[in-house]
Amino acid sequence: MITISKAKKFYRVAFAIFIISFCLTGIRGLKVPSWIISITSVGLMLLLISCFLMSYKKYFFKTSNIYIIGIILMIVLFLCTFKEMPITLLMCILCCFLPYYDIIEIFLYSMSIVFIIEAILGGQNYLLISKNTTGYLLLCFALAAIHFIHSKKTNVFIDWIILIIFFIFTGQVINSRTSALLILFFGLIYETNFFGKISHIKLYLITLLPLFLIAISLFFARNYGNINWISDINIFLSGRISIWSSDWNFYHITLFPQAIISKGFYFDPSVGYGWDIYAADGLYALGVFLYGLVSFSILIFSLMYLLNKVAKQNNTNNQFYICTILVMTLYYFSETQVMNGKASFLLPLAVSSLITLNTLKMDNK
């Protein structure tokens, strides 16, 4: 007979392999037959559903008005953008059956394994093709390494050695400045025990962080070209602010998603000045265009709800998880992969937190 405890352990492992397999299907440079990945994914889905049936009495939805509202919001969110993210919808459902700390750990370790597989099978050139993707994987790898060390024994000196190595490699070799800075930022807030005790002021600041980031993004976008120091920040952000400014002048806010072709100004000594098409990076600046007002509002509300509930745990064991969620929240200031549920835990965890208390409950391990 399979107990709840065994089913939960099996669920974690199956969920991790499930995430890895889906991530590998998008790696064109890897010599892995796609049909093997597809069959593995389908098989794992059936196994996960079996886990649902074995443990639903303890981990499934609970009767309450707030959960009913959460389910309705999830349905509305994915009806608006379902065509573009069926995997994200699936991940949100899967996350309803695990506590939040398990979800974070599974995603961090899974992305670490994906990076290792990329490095081995894809080679150095493949890692440098997309510095943002590789930088994100390294950010997850660094956090997973710190978590692994602390699961054995706490050692601040070793933590900083690992973080500095990841910081240098990510910033200098991969040239992903966003991920490199966030690795360093994580070390500063985590190793100093900054969130060891969360006051009411800190709780409000943590909860309202997404709104602050939206306000800052819009301030930069609307004042680009009028304030000189914003141009300096634009250079540091690889021209993203100029793209935000252009998109805000060209597009209009709609209730539902719209196709965006972001154009930015560039200067190349060999050809001079001009405009080019870029990726629509920056969730808080462009998310309202990419996902529509309805979905974007639900996403931001879900993220604020998650930050508030996890921060309220307010204990030493929870500090790693609140720091990780904060770092990932900041990451999407310049990126938009939040809707890619197969690689990022932020959206699945945030949306599932509206439905089940178990996602936000800090159980004894």
pLDDT in tens, 58-74: 444 444 444 555 555 55
Q: According to the model, what pLDDT value does residue 6 have?
A: 64
Tens-place pLDDT, residues 131-188: 778 888 999 999 999 999 887 777 788 889 999 999 999 988 888 888 999 999 999 9
Q: How many other CB atoms are found less than 10 A from the CB of residue 186? A: 24
Helix (H) or strand (E) holding 265: strand 262-268
Residue 73 structure tokens: 């919001």
Q: According to the model, what pLDDT value does residue 358 have?
A: 45
From first to last of the 365 residues of the chain, give the pLDDT tens digit.
445 566 677 778 878 877 887 777 555 545 555 456 556 655 665 666 565 555 554 444 444 444 555 555 556 555 555 555 566 777 777 787 778 888 999 999 999 998 888 788 766 666 666 777 888 899 999 999 999 988 777 778 888 999 999 999 998 888 888 899 999 999 999 988 888 778 888 899 999 999 999 999 999 999 988 888 998 888 888 778 888 888 888 888 888 777 776 655 544 444 444 555 455 678 898 888 888 888 888 889 989 999 998 888 866 678 899 999 999 999 988 877 655 656 788 888 888 887 765 444 444 44
Q: Quote the CA–CA distance of 86 and 214 in Å, as a whole number.
A: 26
Q: According to the model, what pLDDT value does residue 265 have?
A: 54
Give me the count of residues in the chain.
365
Q: According to the model, what pLDDT value does residue 290 have?
A: 81
The alpha carbon of 170 is separated from its chain's Cα centroid by a whole number of angstroms, namely: 18
Q: According to the model, what pLDDT value does residue 104 have?
A: 92
Give backbone dihedrals phi and psi of 277, rounded to 5 degrees, phi first.
-90, 135
Q: According to the model, what pLDDT value does residue 126 have?
A: 65
Give backbone dihedrals phi and psi of 278, rounded to 5 degrees, phi first.
-130, 170
